Structure 1
Amino acid sequence: MVAFKGVWTQPFWRSVSGEFIAMLIFVLLGLGSTISWGVGDSPQPADLLRISLCFGLSIVTMVHCFGHISGAHLNPAVTIAFVCTRRITLAKSLFYIIAQCLGAISGAGLLYIITPFNLIGNLGVTMVNERLSLGHGLLVEILITFQLVFCISASCDPKYKDKYPPIAIGISVIIGHLFAINYTGASMNPARSLGPAVILWNWKSHWIYWVGPIIGAVCAATVYDYIYCPDNDLKQHLKEAITKATQKTKGKYIEVDDCRSQADAEDLILKSGTVHVIDIDQAESKKGKDSASEILSTV
């Protein structure tokens, strides 16, 4: 039960429901831009600019609306990356990912219901271009997700105040689509690909849209947080702990005496920026309960 500490609280479930609603709206709007409304035998060609702008501006809107509620991850790959950089616990991330996937499926299902059957087409299912190998498709998804999550990490870094994360993140989504729609459909988001795949039951090369974004997201968040812009307090604390652990006294290793409490350790976690912060245990701590704060960042 310790692993699920902070899960059974009203603020956390408000955050989970926010992820569900935001993902539903994002997928509904984004996939809707891929629908061709051509007449008869003259279908409209895919408008790459319209699709890119719709996905990017939808992200801007959802991050602005839900950033202070749930952190607006809106992407299982981002949530997994935040687990690796200690911005969210593993237990809480499971509920976030489930909410994101259910929201994406619901959004794709709603679009399927309201769209005339003869216009549905492939409902925005992401597929690797036939001219590419699966390996090339996987590499493209890794690269575009890397640039997205690196942008998220940089724009939400509290050390740099003069930023507006929703705009930066939305632009990152737009350029990812402009570049990669013709390659892989530009997913960058496993839940976005899962939604239409479930509704049309089309699983062709679907694994690429989980493996690629997750690898890209984890690499980007790890590189930013631990190489380019590490937290100095956390770095110093880890250095001291390693030094104590390797010291010898009378031929024996001494036990590390960590004077920091669990709450102090969690305070070293990189906190998010402008659209950012939700302390889901704050209400309980004010009541005198023993609870640790949890910071969720935006997507």
Structure 2
Amino acid sequence: MPPRRFAFGRTDDAVHPDTMRAALSEFIATALFVFAAEGSILSLGKLYKDTSTAGGLVVVAIAHALALAVAVAIAFNISGGHVNPAVTLGALVGGRISLVRAVFYWVAQLLGAVVAALLLRLATGGMRPVGFSVASGVSDWHAVLLEIVMTFGLVYTVYATAIDPKRGHLGTIAPLAIGFILGANILAGGPFDGAAMNPARAFGPALIGWRWKHHWVYWVGPFIGAALAGVMYEFLMIPAEAPRTHQPLAPEDY
């Protein structure tokens, strides 16, 4: 059995049809997720002047959870359903995806988020995407720590339910489990920093809405948390003799 190692990939992977299909799948899934997730916030802003209420937080958490569950499900068999640059990094440091393919995923995810935010701005008559910001009284580094912890939980869940070769029939509920942990984390961290856990989710609205304050928090925190989760699950939870491929859910699992 080959040793665990970081996979760079081959140059011809960049033009392989499977890579193109996977990147397109990530683009579409991320766009659908960001459109529904950010759209839920804009909808609350349209209905109520003040969206910083307990009811608004619950609505946003549910919208994000359902949107992510669907986005993961529709991309699962093609790209693995990452829908998040941090998840892709977690799979990369664990050797479950090559660097070449990871770069394609990152580009597709960011473009998908930007297109979704742009479509939202056009469809809502020019409403400026809200994106994410650190709450008053919360320091940037506290927000980074919060993003690390929440993203760790998200990526650990992805590994346990979608990537682990021994997941078995548990893989059928992976999209729901991933959506649920996202929604739960939003309820826990939303009032403090918005609970992004996803650099693409933060980047699209930030670019289209031109809101860059504290934006670095939503890259540093998720990437650190994802890398920690990937390394911990890959090297401590998965046996060394387990298959080294990163495969989407097999059809016979359904």
Q: TM-score, normalised by structure 2?
A: 0.87
Which of 133, 138, 145 is matched with 1:132 structurally? 138
Give a deviation string over 1:97-130, Cα, whole Å, max 9, x none.
000000000000100111134xx35x23111111
How far did residue 31 of structure 1 move? 0.2
Note if 1:276 corresponds to 2:249. Answer: yes
Q: Which moved more, 1:22-31 or 1:43-52?
A: 43-52
The letter of the residue matching 1:159 is: K
Separation in 2, partners of 1:4, 1:95:
12
The letter of the residue matching 2:57 is: L
Which of 3, 10, 24 is matched with 1:3 structurally? 10
Aligned to 1:203: 212
Give a deviation string over 1:172-212, Cα, whole Å, max 9, x none.
11101111110111100000000011002211111110010
Contact persistence 1:128–1:137 (CA under 8 A): yes
Aligned to 1:222: 231
- Partner SS for 1:232: coil
Give a deviation string over 1:12-40, Cα, whole Å, max 9, x none.
201111111111111010000001123xx
How far did residue 66 of structure 1 move? 1.4
- Partner SS for 2:168: coil
Q: Which moved more, 1:3-12 or 1:183-192?
A: 3-12
The letter of the residue matching 1:90 is: L
Which 5+ residue runs of structure 1 have no aligned equivalent? 235-267, 279-299
**Closer/same/farther in 2, CA of residues 116 and 155 from structure 1, 3 Å limit:** same
Number of residue pairs aligned between Structure 1 and Structure 2: 236
Aligned to 2:32: 25
- Partner SS for 1:7: helix
The letter of the residue matching 2:160 is: A
Aligned to 2:4: none
Separation in 2, partners of 1:32, 1:218:
29
Contact persistence 2:9–2:100 (CA under 8 A): no
Kindly report structure 1 stretches of 4+ aligned residues shifted beyond 6 Å. none
Separation in 2, partners of 1:93, 1:232:
23
Aligned to 1:240: none
Q: TM-score, normalised by structure 1?
A: 0.75
How far did residue 49 of structure 1 move? 0.8
Q: 1:61-72 residue pairs with structure 2 within 5 A?
A: 61-72=70-81
The letter of the residue matching 1:172 is: I
Contact persistence 1:4–1:92 (CA under 8 A): no
Note if 1:146 corresponds to 2:146. Answer: no
Separation in 1, partners of 2:13, 2:50:
50
Separation in 2, partners of 1:53, 1:204:
26
Which 5+ residue runs of structure 2 have no aligned equivalent? 1-7
**Closer/same/farther in 2, CA of residues 111 and 8 from structure 1, 3 Å limit:** same
- Partner SS for 1:74: coil
Superposed CA RMSD in Å reads 1.9
The letter of the residue matching 2:104 is: F
Q: 1:282-293 residue pairs with structure 2 within 5 A?
A: none
Aligned to 1:281: none
The letter of the residue matching 1:80 is: L
Q: 1:253-268 residue pairs with structure 2 within 5 A?
A: 268=243
Contact persistence 1:231–1:270 (CA under 8 A): no
Give a deviation string over 1:155-174, Cα, whole Å, max 9, x none.
12231313110111111111
The letter of the residue matching 2:136 is: E
Q: 1:1-299 residue pairs with structure 2 within 5 A?
A: 3-35=10-42, 36-38=45-47, 43-46=49-52, 47-117=56-126, 120=127, 123-156=129-162, 157-163=164-170, 164-227=173-236, 229-233=237-241, 268-269=243-244, 271-272=246-247, 276=249
Identity %: 34
- Partner SS for 1:27: helix
Separation in 2, partners of 1:2, 1:136:
36
